[in-house]
Chains A and B, each alone.
Chain A
C-alpha cells in the first residue's frame, strides 16, 4: 500500500504512531490485529521499519549492524549473523558487508536501512521515503527490490512517499492523507477509475455552448494548444455522452483520444477537492 500525501500530511507521523513511537491523544488502532496502545512490543516484533532519515548504530560494519538489529528483535546471535549475511546479499550489499556503515554512500545507506528492517522476518514493513536521495538507477533498483518484497514473499509493505510515480510503480493500493486526514483509501486502479475518464478532443466550430454544457455537468474542460482540449468526464459519463452533447450543440468532433489518467492527476484532484 502506498501512503500518499504532500509534505506535512502526516504520513511519517502515522507510521510512528502505528509503531508506538507516538501515543495518539484520541482514537484507536490495530496493526496485524494488535492494539497500538497496549501491544506495542508485539507489533514491533512482527513489523519492520525503515526510517526516513539517515540512521545507523555507530562503530559497526554492515554485518554486525544487521545482526545486532536481529538480536535486538530477539534473534539468537548465531541465527542473526547467518541471517544478516543472507539479507545483505538480498538487498545487494553482499560485497560491501564488511565495510563500516559510516563509509556507505547514500544509496547503500538506504539499502542497509531496508536490511535491518527485514532481518527479523517481519510480516509487515513500513518504508518511509525509501527512495530519498537516490539517483535514478538507484531509485529503480530500490523500487524493484520493494516490489519483490511484497510480490510473493509474504510481506505486506506500506510505502510512505510524496513521489507518486514510486507508488504507481510499486503499489496496488493507496491511502491519501492531507493535513492528518484520510482523503481516499482504495486500489490505485479503482481510484483512477472513480475519478473519471480524461479525453483529448478537437472540435470544428464555435465550442462555447459545448464547453458550457460540459461544465454544467461537472466535467472540467482545459483548453490546450492547436484547438485541442482536455475533458475530464465524471459522474459516470463516457465517450458516448461526449459525442451526444457535441451532436446536440451542432459540434463536429474531429479528434477524440482517451488519455490514461496518472496517479498524479488523481492525487491533485483528491487534494484539490479537499
Chain B
C-alpha cells in the first residue's frame, strides 16, 4: 500500500475574495523583479540622492554648515524632479517586459482562463510599477519631509510648510501614474520588451528634443507642453507653489498628460485580450 497517494484529488479549500485578485499579479511581479541583482543595484542607486539630501538637510539644519541652502517647498520639488531620471530608468527596466513578455509567451490565455478580468490584469501590472516607482519618489519624499521637521525642531517650519506633504504626495503620484500607465501601454504594443523600452525612451527624448528645437525657433517656452517631462515640471511647480519654469499654460500641460493617460488606457483596453481577434 503506498504511503503517499500521487493520484489526483479534488480541491475543496477556501477561495480568496475576487476584489484583491489583482494583488496576486502585483505580488508575483514584485517577487520576480526583486530577485534580479541588476535591478536591486539600480534601486539602491536610486536611493543615493535621498541619502545626499538627508546629509544636506542635517548639515543645513542641525550644524548650519550650508547657509545658502533653504529648506522650503522647492527643496522637495527639486528632489522629486531629480529622481525623475531614476523613475525613467526603473520604468523601462521593470515595465518594458510586463506585458510584452506575456504576449511573447502567450501568457494572457493562462491569465484569462482563470477568474481574472482585464481590469484585474492591468491593475496588477500597474501595481508592480507603482510599487517600484514609489520607492525612489513618494517614500523618500515623505521621509525627507519628516526628517526636515525632525531636524528643524521648529514649529514655525511646520506651520509654513504643512501643505508640502500633500504636494509631495500629489507630485509623486502624478509622476508614478504617468510613467506607469504610458510604459504599460507601450509594453502592450509589442512582444519585444526591448522594442517597448526603445519606444518609451523615444517618446520622452524626442518630445524633449522637439521642444528644444521649437523653443529656439520661436524664442519662447510657450511650447513647453510638447515635452512630456516639461508638463510634469509645470504641474510640479504649481503643486509646490513655485514660479513656473515655462510660459505654457498649466491647463494645457494637464490636458496633454490627461489625454496621454486616456490614450494609454484605451490602448491597454484594446491590446490586452485573451485572444487576438482577426477581423
Contacts and interface: CB of A to CB of B under 8 A. Distances in A.
Pair from one complex: yes
Contacts of B109: 21, 49, 51, 53, 55
Nearest to B116: A72
Interface string B27-54: 0100010000000000000000000000
Contacts of A89: 6
A58 B116 CA distance: 18
A133 interface: no
Contact of A21 (B12, B106, B275): B275
B187 to A, nearest CB: 13
- What is the interface residue range for chain B against chain A? 35 or more
B24 interface: yes
A18 to B, nearest CB: 11
B11 to A, nearest CB: 3
Interface string A249-268: 00000000000000000000
The SS class assigned to the B binding surface is loop
A19 B24 contact: no
B106 A76 contact: no
A48 B8 CA distance: 14
B277 interface: yes
Given A44-B115, A90-B6, A90-B7, A74 B15 contact: yes
A57 interface: yes
A75 interface: yes
B188 to A, nearest CB: 15
- What is the interface residue range for chain A against chain B? 35 or more
A33 B18 CA distance: 21
Contact of A153 (B10, B102, B112, B277): B10
B110 A69 contact: yes
A116 B107 contact: no
A53 B106 contact: yes
Interface in B167-194: none
Nearest to A47: B113
Given A58-B105, A75-B13, A51 B24 contact: no
Given A76-B13, A76-B16, A94-B6, 10 more contacts: A21-B273, A49-B113, A53-B109, A54-B106, A56-B110, A58-B97, A58-B105, A120-B11, A121-B10, A153-B10
21 contacts: A21-B112, A21-B274, A41-B115, A44-B112, A44-B114, A44-B115, A49-B109, A56-B105, A56-B110, A57-B105, A58-B101, A58-B104, A58-B105, A59-B101, A60-B32, A68-B28, A83-B11, A90-B8, A94-B6, A121-B12, A148-B7
What are the 7 closest A-B residue pairs judged by CB atoms, nearest first? Answer: A121-B11, A55-B106, A49-B113, A74-B15, A21-B274, A72-B114, A41-B115
Interface of B: 6-16, 18, 21, 24-25, 28, 32, 97, 101-102, 104-107, 109-117, 273-275, 277
